[in-house]
Structures are given as structure tokens and as C-alpha cells.
Homo-oligomer: A and B are copies of this chain.
Amino acid sequence: MTTNKGWTLAAYLSGLPSVANFKLVESPAPPPGDGEVLVKNLWLSLDPYMLGRMTQQKSYTKGVELGEVMTGETVAEVVESKHPGFAPGEKVTAPAGWQLYAALKGEALTKIDPSTRAPLSYHLGCLGMPGRTAYFGLNEVGKPKSGETLVVSAASGAVGSVVGQLGKIAGCRIVGIAGGKEKCDYVTGELGFDVCVDYKAGNLFRDLKEACPKGIDIYFDNVGGETLDTVLRLVNTFARIVICGRISGYHAAEPYGIKNLGSVLVNRVRMQGIIVFDWADRYGEANKALAGYVAQGRLKTRESVLEGIENAPKGLIGLVKGENFGKQLVKLA
């Protein structure tokens, strides 16, 4: 009998996550029921949204219960199928959680097109949820026009890196915000952003102002808090702010108070929160566009890989601190 191993939620989040929030448990791999598929997870994606699932606050969907396996998207291989649509050996993306094996309804799985030549792990990053988030958030809410200035926070991250590259393709001037010289060098050197501002240098307003001599037309916000507040001082008339993430909000016990919302009125700013699920009926369109850009070498990506299920909590804790460099993954097999 195959042994499953996975992380459950041991304590709700209050403040920063720590290993004490999680518990590693072993159990037999579950046999698939009728219509179900047993999958073996190959790659686990770690994403900031998981922090929201670890609280009892209202969020997009219900949170993880205490004792339940942590939620998460994986790339997996079909081991055993009791669903007519899947056969052993096929590769899928699945909401299979922080564990080695899972039995899931066939309808919950998405087959990976075997003709896609990109590495399997890309289906959790630039060709997966983060890539589609960037695609719809930028195009549907940001609405980039050639010549505009687009600012992206968490610029070296899974979503931010795609936003900037798509913005470049749309003809915008791209200004990233990232933490530290190494990430900034990567953002301008490898990803082709025009400038990258290092927020850790401690002069965000001054440096961002200098990087945006014509002001800011679009801000794709992955962090919230003080960075958003600073951007609000620099936006142009009719600017669009895509609220996609707020990883800075998980640091503090007390939420940061945004003081420059007056700018939304004066500049007739449109600020909108987005969740990729809202475009679920158009995922095919995004997948096709993103895969095309990857194949053409116009969409580059970087992965931060930890080995083994044991390291999953470490990876999520590192995300909050900005320790990851690129899309955070755990390699499981």
C-alpha cells in the first residue's frame, strides 16, 4: 500500500505564518471512488492567497479547516482512474493540496496538452493561475495603451513578472518594484522592464517618481499597504489600479492605513479588485496567448524550487518575507 504524506492546518493564522501553523501527517493513499482519479503530485505551487485560507476571515472561498490538508494547486500524474476521461500516465493540473497523493473527481482536473513543450512546472506559473491572473487583470482592468507607464509591484514574482512582460508587448514603459539589487537586476536584465525600483533602498517615493517622469497610468498592485499609498501620490488622471494581492497586509498585526485615497477623486482613478476565477470561461484564450509568448521567447520566467513535501511550510513563510525569487514551487517527485 502506498503511503501518503501531507501538511494539515494545525492553527489559524494570526500575524506571520510559522511552522507551528502546520502539521505533517501520514496516511494510506486513498483509493479512488467512482468518477474519481488517484493522482501523484509532481509539483506543488505556493501562492500568497493561501495565507487568506488560513484565517477565519471572509475571503473568496471558504478557508481551510483545522486538521484539513492545506489547499494548493499541483501538477500531477494520473496513477489510477475510475473516470472515463483520464488514463494512467496522463499529466494534469489539480487542486490536490499539500500532499503526495490525492483522489479527486475527474471534473476537478485539467489535462495538460502533451504537445506543449514548456516544462511541466510552468503550468503552475506563467502558463497557470499566476499567468492567467496577469493576463486578465492587465488586459481587462489595466487596459494598457501604447506609451503609457505601467508600474508593477512584486515585479520578480509569479504574477508581476508576467504583467510586466505583457505590458511591454502592449507598448508600455514598464517600471517594476522589487526588493533588493539582485531581483531588480533580473527584472530589468532578464525580463526586459525599463526600470526597477528597489523598495528596500528606503526611498520609494523619490525613486518611483524619478522612474516615472510622466507619472503612472497603470499600477498592478500585488502588495497593498505603503507601496499602494506611495503610488497614489504619483498617478495620472484616469489611472487604473489593479488590486491583485496584498502580501504586505499579512506582515502587520494592525492593517496599514491608506492616506492618499483623495488622489482617487482628484485624478478620477479607477481601482478594482480582481480574482482570476471571474474569467474562468475564458481561460482557453489566456492559455493560448501565454503559451504562444513562451514559445516565441517573449515571456520568460524564473522558478524558486524547494525539494520535498517537508519544505512546503518553509516556502510559504519565505513568500511573505519576499525570500522567494520567482515563482515558488515545491518539487515532490
Contacts and interface: CB of A to CB of B under 8 A. Distances in A.
A249 to B, nearest CB: 6
Given A224-B261, A228-B261, A243-B261, A267 B256 contact: no
Contacts of A212: none
Nearest to A52: B266
Contacts of A268: 272-275, 278
Contacts of A262: 224, 246, 249, 255
Interface string A231-256: 00000000000011110010000111
Interface residues of A, number: 33
A84 interface: no
A244 B273 CA distance: 19
A82 interface: no
Given A257-B258, A258-B261, A273 B269 contact: yes
A296 interface: no
A264 interface: yes
Contacts of A267: 273
Closest 6 pairs (CB-CB, A-B) = A257-B257, A265-B273, A264-B273, A255-B259, A258-B258, A271-B271
29 contacts: A52-B266, A59-B266, A60-B266, A224-B261, A224-B262, A228-B261, A243-B264, A243-B265, A245-B265, A255-B260, A255-B262, A256-B257, A257-B258, A257-B259, A258-B259, A264-B273, A265-B273, A265-B274, A265-B275, A267-B273, A268-B272, A268-B274, A268-B278, A269-B273, A270-B270, A270-B271, A270-B272, A270-B273, A271-B272
